[in-house]
Amino acid sequence: MQRRHFLAMGAAATTAAALGSRRLFASPAAVRHPLWLPPELRPNGITLRANAHAITSGTGTTGTAMTLGDGAIGPTIRMRRGERARITLDNALDEETILHWHGLKVPEVADGHPRFAIGTGAKYEYDFEVTDRAGTYWYHAHPHHRTGEQVYRGMAGLLLVDDDEQDALRLPSGARELSVLIQDRRLDADGEFVFNPVMHERMEGFFGDVGFGNGTPNPRHEVDSALYRLRVVNVTASRITRVALSTGAPMTLIGTDGGLLASPVTLTHLDLGTGERADLLVDFSQVPVGSSVMLVSQEFPPPYRGGMGMMGRGMTGAKPQGAPLDLLEFAVTRKVTERPYVLPALPAIARLDPGTASRTREFRFDSRQMRHFINGKEWEMERVDERVPFGSTEIWRFINDSNFPHPVHMHEVQFQILSRTGGRNAIMPWEAGWKDTALLFPGETIDVIAEFNAHRGLFLMHCHNLVHEDMGMMMNYTIE
Ligand code: C2O
Ligand code: CU
Ligand code: CU
């Protein structure tokens, strides 16, 4: 394994105590590190080299990241709708891997199905046209049985799509546009990343107790007293992240998985399961210079059913599901006075009409006897579980018969949520617009509608809790 030190995060670390008495969050002071801002690459003719290298993961300690390139997490790939992407994956890991472009509609051979995984020293060429709306997407490793550990160690990156529709809004950009890939990791005494789901974690999922942003432990970022566009991507193995500001201040949600919403939503928190994204406007103009606001995952009762969890809590690790976790400190360091940004009307979204759906398919998610099933089956590499006619519109009904939440993800389509019954019994305010992943709590049924009209081929639908996914809570479907 290659051991390189390239990020001197420790040297530049600032202690929370140094921020003085105006801290607005209560958690014990942790040494905080400047948020790593990955380089932005254009997609035409780039090579992403998968490799393992040491990164500073805490005070003077190192963990082994597996990632693309030299950073703590993969580079950001910034694409434009209509553009061609030609990307080479170069596998310098000592195990197999393959990359998937989460949320994009790409041809079958570019979708990163585990059967396309390549071995050490091999290369894989991706060539596709970007047809998706402007939005916050991401890419990550997708090899069989190893997605969880590879993503946990950093085999992921941000994928941004821009288009004319979005440009017209003149959203905050440049230094006022920030993106953060959220992770939670466990560190051993040497600062090495631990990923070893034990028995009950193979049911619940794996939870770390240190919040990472863009591969940076306990990140901190200096901001102006101004309005920011903040995109949040949940890249955790299993954690549902209840995204909020430590001040309780409202945020404006302008986009979700598949791009901009038809109208903005003001909220003080929103829940993201693994794989889900939020595009937010966050206003620091009222925050006094010299003070900080923490982006946190707020405490919530984990949505477990039955005898699971102690005292309504998850059981795994120091920060189980639902425990509060600090994600990213914003230190307001510069006073600016600017004309307030007024968000123009957002572009309309055509609602898919359930009347045009040719059929409804049911998928039952169940977890029992240390195994995870969809319609009673565990995933097999070559078995085709469903066949969908190309060009059709269908309703897919996801039913949770288990005691655990499942973030359900479909490759190759963006869907709209038609209904949720049982459990929370409502479509949440942050679930409007186009989605590719949706949280399904125990006892819930959600109906989603999608058009299968982008490409023919074999694609996946799966639970995006990476522990469940690797254990086979996944199915193959064809568009033919
Ligand atoms: Cu993020 Cu199979 O997906
Ligand atoms: Cu995906
Ligand atoms: Cu699951």
The band of 58, judged by pLDDT with boundaries at 50, 70 and 90, is low
Measuring CA to CA, which residue among 234, 230, 365 is closest to residue 294? 230
Residue 462 beta carbon below 6 angstroms from any ligand 1 atom: yes
**pLDDT tens sequence across 285-310:** 999 999 999 999 999 999 998 755 44
**What average pLDDT does the structure give for the chain?**
92
Query: Residues with Cβ < 8 Å from 198, sequence gap 6 or more?
Result: none
**Which ligand lies nearest the alpha carbon of 461?**
1
Give the Cα separation of 339 and 342 in Å (integer).
9
The band of 462, judged by pLDDT with boundaries at 50, 70 and 90, is very high
Nearest atom within ligand 1 for CA of residue 103: 1
Cα 276 to middle of ligand 1, angstroms: 10
Residue 275 beta carbon below 6 angstroms from any ligand 1 atom: yes
Could you give the domains of the chain? 11-160 (2.60.40.420), 174-334 (2.60.40.420), 354-479 (2.60.40.420)
Nearest atom within ligand 1 for CA of residue 469: 2
Residue 140 beta carbon below 6 angstroms from any ligand 1 atom: yes
**pLDDT tens sequence across 319-351:** 999 999 999 999 999 999 999 999 999 999 999
pLDDT of 37 higher than 70 = yes
Cα 195 to middle of ligand 2, angstroms: 22
**pLDDT tens sequence across 183-222:** 999 999 888 999 999 988 999 999 999 999 999 999 999 9
**pLDDT tens sequence across 425-436:** 999 999 999 999
**Structure-token match 């190192």, residue found:** 62
Cα 209 to middle of ligand 3, angstroms: 20
Report field, pTM of the whole predicted structure over 0.85: yes
The radius of gyration of the chain's CA atoms, rounded to the nearest angstrom, is 21
Residue 460 beta carbon below 6 angstroms from any ligand 1 atom: yes
Give the Cα separation of 222 and 251 in Å (integer).
18
Measuring CA to CA, which residue among 128, 99, 276, 309 is closest to residue 201? 309
Q: Whose CA is nearest to atom 3 of ligand 1?
A: 102
pLDDT of 315 higher than 80 = no
Q: Whose CA is nearest to atom 1 of ligand 1?
A: 102
Residues 278, 429: contact at Cβ < 8 Å? no
The band of 60, judged by pLDDT with boundaries at 50, 70 and 90, is low
Least confident of 129-133, 190-194, 240-244, 318-322: 190-194
- Identity (one letter) of the amino acid at 252? T
pLDDT of 19 higher than 80 = no
CA geometry: angle 49, 53, 59, nearest 5 deg: 140
Cα 101 to middle of ligand 2, angstroms: 6
Nearest atom within ligand 1 for CA of residue 474: 2
Give the Cα separation of 132 and 161 in Å (integer).
7
Cα 466 to middle of ligand 3, angstroms: 8
Cα 411 to middle of ligand 1, angstroms: 7
